[in-house]
């Protein structure tokens, strides 16, 4: 995947995660589409790896249901148990437990089969607006490249370059720390269990299961603080849920957008349109795959309906098409702040450098 073909593209998608792959799949039948993924594929991403019902509904109406090969055990998840300072809330939501590297790669291969071109180890370093196009420059497997497109879809997440390149305000972030243990615990392995106590996190802490491993995580302003909170939370699980650790297998760090009241998504800057976390779209407890894929599907449908000639028209139509998803996201956050006021206080207390 390391050779760039000559010629221009109608649409370049920056980022090969679920939103980028969904956009590529949806657009490749109608346009010449290129996906640029920064890392070598298949690539890992620290994630709970749970496809909630909204994600599965989106997939079933487009690509189809994921194959068993992308799943881990328990394959079927049953929902969320949220431990607040007041009480435990149970939210039923049948879903699917997946390994992100396998799942993302499956999605990208589906897009390739549909006609999209995929290149990994491709870092975009600049986007230069031209009269009727945008020029992208960067590095591909150690060699420089330059190409043009009518439109760019930025699907490169909160750690991507696209917002900086477009000279947009940087997103505030929080840092996740999650450790995989060969362990036993007295909890329902089919649930994603979240804790909002400020003792365990400055955002939330969680535990879930994958292929016999117990995954324990926490969130804070930086790695050091997130690691410290994770250790305290682990101690709580040993006392409250009889966590019995046999071996630590690995530790992962990642970043998430710091979503707070009043945050509005950034959906475009000229010929660059943003999806998923790159747009600031994220559901509570870091669930970003459903709204990431929904945003990619929305902009793809707008493009297929109105073409690539009028960027202002696309921006207006995209915002309108995404309004239902954005409203749903905001309602979810409002509900969380209502039933767990400490969560809102946790987030408000984060000092972002």
pLDDT in tens, 317-346: 999 999 999 999 999 999 999 999 998 888
d(CA 300, CA 22): 9
Phi, psi of 289 (to 5 degrees): -70, -40
9-14 and 272-274: which strand pairing? unpaired
Cα dist from 60 to 55, 93, 99, 291, 300, whole Å: 9, 16, 18, 15, 17
Q: What is the pLDDT of residue 7?
A: 60
Q: What is the pLDDT of residue 262?
A: 76
Cα dist from 83 to 91, 147, 200, whole Å: 11, 50, 12
Q: What is the pLDDT of residue 344?
A: 85
Dihedral sign for Cα atoms in the order 141, 144, 147, 152 = positive
Q: What is the pLDDT of residue 260?
A: 77
Using DSSP's 3-state secondary structure scheme, residue 239 falls into helix
Residues of the chain with pLDDT under 70: 1-7, 349, 351-353
35, β-bridge pairs: 13, 118
d(CA 344, CA 337): 6
Q: What is the pLDDT of residue 238?
A: 97
8 A C-beta contact, residue 14 and residue 162 = yes
Q: What is the pLDDT of residue 352?
A: 53
Q: What are the tokens at 100?
A: 């992100």
pLDDT digits (tens, 9 = 90+) for 150-171: 999 999 999 999 999 999 988 8
8 A C-beta contact, residue 296 and residue 277 = no
Q: What is the pLDDT of residue 353?
A: 47
Nearest to 156 by CA among 292, 7, 263: 292
Dihedral sign for Cα atoms in the order 259, 172, 226, 252 = positive
80, β-bridge pairs: 91, 192
- Ranges of beta strands (E only) in 185-276 are 191-195, 205-210, 213-220, 244-257, 268-269, 272-274
d(CA 247, CA 267): 44
């Amino acid at each position: 995947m390391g050779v760039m073909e000559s010629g221009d593209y109608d649409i370049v998608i920056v980022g090969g995660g679920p939103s980028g792959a969904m956009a590529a799949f949806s657009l490749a039948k109608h346009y010449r589409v290129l996906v640029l993924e920064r890392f070598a594929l298949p690539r890992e991403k620290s994630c709970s790896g749970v496809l909630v019902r909204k994600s599965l509904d989106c997939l079933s109406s487009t690509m189809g249901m994921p194959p068993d090969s992308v799943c881990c055990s328990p394959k079927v998840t049953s929902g969320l148990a949220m431990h607040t300072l007041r009480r435990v809330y149970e939210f039923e939501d049948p879903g699917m437990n997946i390994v992100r590297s396998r799942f993302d790669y499956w999605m990208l291969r589906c897009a390739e089969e549909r006609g999209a071109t995929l290149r990994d180890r491709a870092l975009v370093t600049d986007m230069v607006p031209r009269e009727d196009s945008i020029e992208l420059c960067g590095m591909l497997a150690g060699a420089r490249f330059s190409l043009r497109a009518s439109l760019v879809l930025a699907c490169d997440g909160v750690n991507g370059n696209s917002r900086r390149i477009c000279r947009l305000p940087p997103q505030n972030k929080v840092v996740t720390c999650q450790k995989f243990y060969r362990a036993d615990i007295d909890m329902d392995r089919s649930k994603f269990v979240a804790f909002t106590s400020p003792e365990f996190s400055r955002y939330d802490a969680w535990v879930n299961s994958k292929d016999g491993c117990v995954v324990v995580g926490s969130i804070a302003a930086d790695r050091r603080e997130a690691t410290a909170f994770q250790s305290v939370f682990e101690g709580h699980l040993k006392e409250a849920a009889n966590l019995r650790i046999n071996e630590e297998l690995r530790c992962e760090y990642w970043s998430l957008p710091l979503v707070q009241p009043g945050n509005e998504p950034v959906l475009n800057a000229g010929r660059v349109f943003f999806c998923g976390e790159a747009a600031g779209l994220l559901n509570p407890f870091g669930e970003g795959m459903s709204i990431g894929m929904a945003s990619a599907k929305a902009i793809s449908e707008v493009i297929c309906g109105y073409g690539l000639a009028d960027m202002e028209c696309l921006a207006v139509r995209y915002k309108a098409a995404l309004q239902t998803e954005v409203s749903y996201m905001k309602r979810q956050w409002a509900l969380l702040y209502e039933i767990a006021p400490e969560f809102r206080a946790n987030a408000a207390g984060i000092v972002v450098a």
